Amino acid sequence: MSAIAKQFYRQPLPSTCVDFSSELGKKLFSSSLLKGHANIYFKLAAQFRTQDEPAFCGLSTLVMVLNALEVDPGRVWKGPWRWYHESMLDCCAPLEKVMKTGINLRQFACLAVCNRLTVRTEQLYPDNKTHGTMEKFRQDLIASATSEDTVLVASYDRGVLGQTGVGHFSPIAAYDEGSDRALIMDVARFKYPPHWVELSLLHQAMQSVDVSTSAPRGYFVMTLRKDTRPLILFRLHRSFTIDSKQLNSQLIEWRAYLQATPADQSEELISATLTKFHQLFEEYSLCCKTTDDEECTRCSGMEAELDEQMSRCCKLICKQVKAGGVYERMAALGLAKRHAALTALLLAWPLDIEPPTGRVEGLRAIIAQDVQLFDADAKNEIDLLQTQIRTRILCIDM
């Protein structure tokens, strides 16, 4: 009896929500469609999914958005198909932890940026009169609903809507002007169907405080970052996460090391800096998207995973990285087995310390010499890797 008592088949929608499939729900959708306020619905509906785990609402929502915006993950899902799945979104927080606690606002933003989305985050502080207001939220929602390439995702407290549960993520697919309601595509489909809610109530639900961050929730406006292609060769190790205490201490040590340095840029100083970088960050570099220590010569055997064109592109990127001065220095110092992966990590590493010290200027100089000779594909690889590194570092510093 106790086992049966713990089982549930969905939950009834509270009176604050209108079932999408009800007569009223259909009328609201028809009205929004006629006004042009449901354009993004069709992109989202084509990718509507049920979250794989009870705490995966954030990951499943992001997967839905990425596939709706036709973002190529550059990674195989199953068979020959490149397609986003929750299991791929492990770059900002360990999946094992997400399965237990879910993700918060900054982790969601981190994952979105790392996967080639442009993200504007609006946290709804009640006393803020310029950002996150009802009027601003309505404007952003209408802009998203009338588009076919911009998605708005809400992070809100279910309890405010009269639903069971607390924090939740869901994409918003349409807006009805007459009733001032938004259509929530709830990824917990085992619990609630898609439903309409009044904008004022949803806005209130997004103002609730997330106890894990002591900050309010909010919403995101997301589009695909233009003129970018997916990473195909290099990646960060899964341990490079924003909640890693080890990584945080290593970043602090690296910054202090760069700042405490003389103004000269001697070859000995550069060699010492490369050695320090290897000591701190070598474990986070991966080549050919493997988790072992194989060098980039493995590119010759990637045809099983990549099509011929991408495999050729991968080899050319690797060749360009190996042809540069940074790689030569790494190899000469004997710093690592996978010189190319560590070299790419350094080429992409943000050197934002101002005013620049001798070590910073020395690194910037040798990196610039290499990158200026790269073709568009190699530059894209380094730029995207740098975006991922910078985004995670900024999230750690928040």
Give residue-wise pLDDT tens across range 98-130: 999 999 999 999 999 999 999 999 999 887 777
373 vs 131 pLDDT, higher one:
373
**Domain identity same for 266 and 370:** yes
Residues 272 and 115: their CA atoms lie apart, in Å, by 33
241 within 8 A of 94, measured Cβ to Cβ: yes
Q: Note if the bond before 80 is cis, omega within 30 degrees.
A: no
In this prediction, residues 6-13 reach a mean pLDDT of: 89
Tell me: pLDDT of 373 over 80.
Answer: yes
Q: Are residues 152 and 245 in the same domain?
A: no
Local confidence band at 333 (pLDDT 50, 70, 90 cut-offs): confident
315 occurs within a structural domain: yes
Closest CA to 340 of 354, 326, 353, 350: 326
User: Are 322 and 275 contained in the same domain?
Assistant: yes
* 267 shares its domain with 351: yes
CATH classification at residue 50: 3.90.70.30
Residues 164 and 250 in one domain: no
The yes-or-no verdict on residue 134 having pLDDT over 50 is yes
Asked whether the beta carbons of 182 and 172 are under 8 A apart, the reply is yes
pLDDT in tens, 179-195: 999 999 999 999 999 99
Same domain? 206 vs 262:
no
With respect to residue 163, please indicate whether it lies within any of the assigned structural domains.
Answer: yes
The number of C-alpha atoms within 13 Å of 179 and in the hemisphere containing its C-beta is 21
Write phi, then psi, for 387 (nearest 5 degrees): -60, -45
Number of domains, the chain: 2
Tell me how far apart the alpha carbons of residues 320 and 377 are, in angstroms, rounded to a whole number.
Answer: 10
Helices (H), ranges, 115-172: 134-145
pLDDT in tens, 33-80: 999 999 999 999 999 999 999 999 999 999 999 999 999 998 889 998
Which parts of 237-312 are beta strand (E)?
A: 285-287
Euclidean distance between CA atoms 51 and 34, whole angstroms: 31
Q: What percent of the chain has pLDDT over 90?
A: 67
Please determine, for residue 2, whether its predicted confidence score (pLDDT) is greater than 60: no
Please say if the pLDDT value at position 3 is more than 80. no
pLDDT of residue 260: 83
Range of the domain at 67: 7-224
Q: How far apart are CA 360 and CA 362, in angstroms?
A: 5
Q: What pLDDT shows up at residue 302?
A: 42
In a domain, 1, yes or no: no
- Which parts of the chain are beta strand (E)? 17-19, 76-78, 81-82, 117-123, 151-157, 167-176, 181-184, 195-198, 209-210, 215-216, 218-224, 234-236, 285-287
The tokens for 337 are 């087995």
140-145: long-range pairs with CB below 8 Å, 24+: 140/219, 140/221, 141/172, 141/175, 141/182, 141/199, 142/37, 142/175, 143/221, 144/40, 144/172, 144/221, 145/32, 145/37, 145/38, 145/39, 145/40, 145/41, 145/172, 145/173, 145/174, 145/175
Of 224, 243, 272, the one marking the end of a domain is 224
Evaluate whether residue 229 is within a structural domain: no
What is the spatial distance between Cα 191 and Cα 351, in angstroms, rounded to a whole number?
Answer: 46
Task: Please check whether residue 177 lies inside any domain of the structure.
Answer: yes
Catalytic center residues: 57, 168, 186
Looking at the structure, do residues 133 and 20 belong to the same domain, yes or no? yes
Closest by alpha carbon to 198, among 156, 148, 151? Answer: 156
